Amino acid sequence: MAKSVLTPQSEDFPRWYQEVIQKAEMAENGPVRGTMIIRPWGYAIWERIQKELDERIRATGHKNAYFPLFIPMPFLEREAEHVEGFSPELAVVTHGGGSELGEPVAVRPTSETVIGDAMSRWIQSHRDLPLLLNQWANVVRWELRPRLFLRTSEFLWQEGHTAHATWEDAQAETLRMHEVYADLMQSVLAIDPVLGRKTDTERFAGAEATYTLEALMRDGKALQMGTSHNLGQNFARAFDIGFSTPEGDRELCWMTSWGVSTRVVGALIMVHGDDRGLRLPPALAPAQVVVLAVRDETSDVCQRVSGELRALGLRVETDVDTHTGFGRRVTDWELKGVPIRIEIGPRDVEEDSMTLVRRDTGAKESVALGSAASVVPETLRTIQAELLGQATARQDEMTTDVENVDEIVSGDGNGFMRLPWVDVSADGERRLNEHGLSVRCLVAPEGSVPTTEGAIESSLAYVARAY
RNA sequence: CGGGACGUGGCGCAGUUUGGUUAGCGCGCAGCGUUCGGGACGCUGAGGUCGCGGGUUCAAAUCCCGCCGUCCCGACCA
């Protein structure tokens, strides 16, 4: 057994996290504090997420567009709660073209305001509704304590913005996208987050209701993986986004917004990663299989097997860099989390076989050279399913029911602690915050998302330490 | 902004307390050879304004002053 490449998770989880990002060549710090250089391997993972999510966003009838990075300050100020929520982390440009600007402009922390301004012109009639837009963009929220992927001053995301004729339509949209996110997490990222509603203290600045997806990382801390907001008429009022009804009355639109960011890459690392590195779900992995030549003389066979697998539509890397030691290459691919490694050496070729190794379990088996096309896809499906199964089981194990806030505050603060929301309330929430804990979300007793006052009253609070 | 450190080849560090040869070490990098089924090894080699500016001194990475920058800990967020 070779000595471990990474600091074990059990020894120092934050250090493990940093090391795995560095050694898997995913990302590094940019020259300005809080910025991130996303390296090809990390970016390829993000692009996979983008592709999967973009397809789902289009499939639900949304169109992509692009709005400016710079936002006039007065825009942000129009919605009182919105500006208050974002002003501490706002980056403001004061100079341009060599001189001080008369009107400073903000670098977007999110785009509700610019998009709202445009929508107010684009929407005139009920026939213009619903208006379903999405944009892929970078945003800036100045961070004092940055962490790669989890919290950076600039990050990449997708933000959806929609306008509807009724509250019911907006609510349906909010919940629909919440579900789209859940599907992405489960079927692609192999993570099964808790779907719930944010308390008023954690609600998005300017929203009427915020719905969230919260997952537990391996160290027992929670991470918000996505949010979907019902904005009510708050922004419609601030930006005068109205429409004429069929009856000829003028009414304000009901709006939503929803987003998923590069932060989910952090979740992926911390949910599935182990002491050997990343473990990527096949649906997401930029390379699902790496075919590795043990010796130079087996390179041709490797190329052939890779070709067969690519013909099936699989993403395949071929590693015939025999100049580098075998062990070294094995370790590197494990760090990068490629789900299946196929090793082909002289011994395999002699027996007309190859060695197939699963990254998730480490299990090795010798299979016939000709069977790649049948064995590999099957194994990829198995890995995808088992990663989700493991992650879900671990999260369940780390979720405990508790009696009251005292019990939480006196405990070790690990995992989700669940109790009736009425037993927490605003006062209990403050106490939790003082102890570095927070109510991550509220879930209705039957497991659904609470949408009414009554459902909130009877809901369960999920409490955890959070990233 | 308050508290604690740190700045020396690409990266990680030693050397600074007590000034004194040619500023070392590990990793990485280049060449050659032997290796190759779980981070290989040997030999050879390249690579340094010791954060910046000033001062003290025969002599400064080392002492003094100033500046700059970075990291860690305390009030927000996807």
Q: What pLDDT, in 10s, does the model give residues A139-181? A: 999 888 888 899 888 999 999 999 999 999 999 999 999 999 9
* For the segment 143-172 of chain A, residues whose CB is within 7 A of strand B: 143-145, 150-153, 155, 157
Fold adopted by A289-379: Rossmann fold (3.40.50)
User: Residues 332-361 of chain A: which lie with beta carbon within 7 Å of strand B?
Assistant: 332, 334, 343-349, 355, 357
| Closest nucleotide relative to residue A142's CA, C1' based | B77
Provide the b/e sequence for A261-277 (b: ≥16 CB within 10 Å): bbbbbbbbbbbbbbebb
pLDDT of A55 over the 90 cut: yes
User: What values do phi and psi take at A441, rounded to 5?
Assistant: -170, 170
- Across chain A, mean pLDDT equals 93
Band of residue A2 on the pLDDT scale cut at 50, 70, 90: very low
Residue A427 (CA) to nucleotide B50 (C1'), in angstroms, measures 56
Lowest mean pLDDT among A3-12, A36-45, A108-117, A403-412: A3-12
pLDDT greater than 80 at residue A4 = no
pLDDT of amino acid A255: 97
Q: Give the ipTM of the model, two decimals please.
A: 0.83
pLDDT(A68) > 90: yes
pLDDT for A3 equals 52
> CATH says A13-272 is which class?
alpha beta
Run of H or E including A332: helix A326-336
User: Percentage of chain A with pLDDT > 90?
Assistant: 78
Nucleotide with smallest C1' distance to residue A88 CA = B76
Which nucleotide's C1' is closest to A351 (Cα)?
Answer: B37
Instruction: Say whether the CB atom of A227 is under 7 angstroms from strand B.
Output: yes
Whether omega for the bond prior to residue A346 falls within 30 degrees of 0, making it cis, is: no
Distance from residue A67's CA to nucleotide B11's C1', rounded to whole Å: 40
Q: Is the per-residue pLDDT at A10 higher than 90?
A: no
Residue, of A269 and A35, whose pLDDT is higher? A269
For chain A, give the percent of residues with pLDDT over 70.
99
Separation in Å: B20 C1' and A31 CA: 39
User: CA(A234)–C1'(B33) in Å?
Assistant: 74
Alpha carbon of A132 to those of A175, A199, A212, A281: distances in Å? Answer: 14, 26, 20, 31
d(CA A3, CA A20): 15
> What's the whole-number mean pLDDT along residues A450-465?
95
Radius of gyration of chain A from Cα atoms?
Answer: 25
Tell me, in Å, how far CA of A292 is from C1' of B43? 30
pLDDT band at A307 (very low <50, low <70, confident <90, very high): very high
| pLDDT(A29) > 60 | yes
Task: Dump pLDDT digits (tens) for A318-367.
Answer: 999 988 889 999 999 999 999 999 999 999 999 999 999 999 999 999 99
pLDDT at position A1: 34
Q: Which of residues 194-213 of A touch strand B (CB under 7 A)?
A: 202, 204-205
For A116, residues 6+ apart whose C-beta sits below 8 A from its C-beta are A161, A235, A236, A238, A239, A241, A255
Q: Which nucleotides of B are covered by protein (CB under 7 A)?
A: 1, 35-40, 70-78
Burial class of residue A445, CB neighbours in 10 A (0-12, 13-18, 19+):
exposed
Domain boundaries, chain A: 13-272, 289-379, 399-464
pLDDT in the model for residue A398: 96
Distance, CA of A29 to C1' of B5, in Å: 20
